[in-house]
Amino acid sequence: MIEFTNVSKYFERDGKRVLAAKDINLKINQGEFLTVIGPSGCGKSTVLNMCAGLMKPSFGEVKYKKQLVNGINTSVGYMTQKDNLLPWRTVRGNVEIGLEIRGIGKKERERESASFIEMVGLKGFENHYPQELSGGMRRRVSLAKMLVYNPETLLLDEPFGALDAQLRLILQDKLLQIWQETGKTIIFVTHDLDEAVLLGERVAVFSKRPGTIKKVEEVKLPKKRDVYNLRMTDEFRKVHANLWQSLREEFVEEVNAV
Ligand SMILES: Nc1ncnc2c1ncn2[C@@H]1O[C@H](COP(=O)(O)OP(=O)(O)OP(=O)(O)O)[C@@H](O)[C@H]1O
Ligand SMILES: [Mg+2]
């Protein structure tokens, strides 16, 4: 479904090059749930941006369904790390944008948006504006805005980072349910190793910048997962310990410097 081949990306600033991602080789199968974890600044968002077609690789190529991504990739829904809610639109107005663009009628838009607004726990806030919401609530509006559009592939960049632990579990569970029922392909970036193992069928660990894929670990747990109890299982502990070993090496220098 998605294929990164020898992808590197650098940015230029004051005549200097900053290498953000280096030699990324990765294939994501249709219907797969891949989680991505790595130190801050290692290029995770850059990789999603290239997949969404918002940035071009400096070297190598990104393909989506065997086609070169060469402009905005309209088959993916992208929940970016920073939200881009329109301040002059209400929660409902923001959630319905994608449906409006598709020319879907008012009645159907309202029905669809209401169901996703409820799903993310924001019933009663339909007529609020983004500036009247908390950070976590804004993230949930962004999630509803992406899901209502029903894209075949979801790119999620730290979607649940600003949420409290309880709400996070509920939304992780909902996302898994959507994935199981629809067979969507998902790339999910997180800073939280627990979350990476709980959700992913495979977990890709990035090294510190310039980010390259250090390890891809399979999580041999059933597709139908219970996020509330999974942490107790042997497989979870095994994969977690294994990945932590790999991840902590990327932080050793920073930790030693403290
Ligand atoms: N548009 C841009 N222009 C210039 N440099 C950029 C741009 N986007 C990213 N970078 C640089 O590329 C590197 C990787 O950034 P990126 O946002 O991909 O990291 P990240 O892994 O998503 O980090 P975090 O976990 O903190 O979100 C950083 O050094 C960043 O400064
Ligand atoms: Mg990022």
Task: Find the 107 Cα to ligand 2 centroid distance in Å.
Answer: 37
Segment 183-228, tens digit of pLDDT: 999 999 999 999 999 999 999 999 988 889 999 999 999 889 999 8
Same domain, yes or no: 180 and 249: yes
Host domain of residue 19: 1-74+154-161+170-258
The secondary structure element, H or E, covering residue 247 is: helix 234-248
Confidence of residue 182 (pLDDT cuts 50, 70, 90): very high
Same domain, yes or no: 246 and 205: yes
Task: Find the 79 Cα to ligand 2 centroid distance in Å.
Answer: 11
Confidence of residue 256 (pLDDT cuts 50, 70, 90): low
Nearby residues for ligand 2 (ion, Cβ within 5 Å): 44-45, 81
Same domain, yes or no: 63 and 177: yes
Same domain, yes or no: 67 and 83: no
The answer, yes or no, to whether residue 34 has pLDDT greater than 70, is yes
Specify whether the CB–CB gap between 207 and 36 falls below 8 A.
no
Q: Identify the bridge partners of residue 11 per DSSP, sorted by sequence position.
A: 18
Same domain, yes or no: 70 and 174: yes
Q: Which residues line ligand 1 (CB under 6 A)?
A: 11, 18, 20, 40-46, 81, 209
Segment 122-161, tens digit of pLDDT: 999 999 999 999 999 999 999 999 999 999 999 999 999 8
DSSP letter for each residue of 29-74: -TT-EEEEE--TTSSHHHHHHHHHTSS--SEEEEEETTEE--S--T
Q: What total number of domains does the chain contain?
A: 2
**Ligand index nearest the alpha carbon of residue 250:** 1
Angle, alpha carbons 199-82-87 (nearest 5°): 125
The CA-atom distances, in angstroms, between 162 and each of 81, 135, 139, 196, 254 are 11, 7, 8, 16, 24
**Angle between helices 135-147 and 106-119 in degrees, nearest 10:** 130
Distance CA 188, CA 196 (A): 8
Confidence of residue 250 (pLDDT cuts 50, 70, 90): confident
CATH of residue 185: 3.40.50.300
User: Which of 14, 40, 44 to mutate to test ligand 1, by most ligand atoms within 8 A of the CB atom?
Assistant: 44
Residue 127 neighbours by CB under 8 Å, 6+ apart: 90, 91, 92
Residue nearest to atom 4 of ligand 1 (CA): 11
Task: Find the 217 Cα to ligand 1 centroid distance in Å.
Answer: 24
Same domain, yes or no: 179 and 230: yes
Residue nearest to atom 25 of ligand 1 (CA): 40
Segment 66-120, tens digit of pLDDT: 999 999 999 999 999 998 999 999 999 999 999 998 899 999 999 999 999 999 9
Kindly tell me the sign of the dihedral angle through the C-alpha atoms of 161, 162, 163, 164.
Answer: positive
Specify whether the CB–CB gap between 200 and 188 falls below 8 A.
yes
Kindly tell me the sign of the dihedral angle through the C-alpha atoms of 187, 193, 198, 203.
Answer: positive
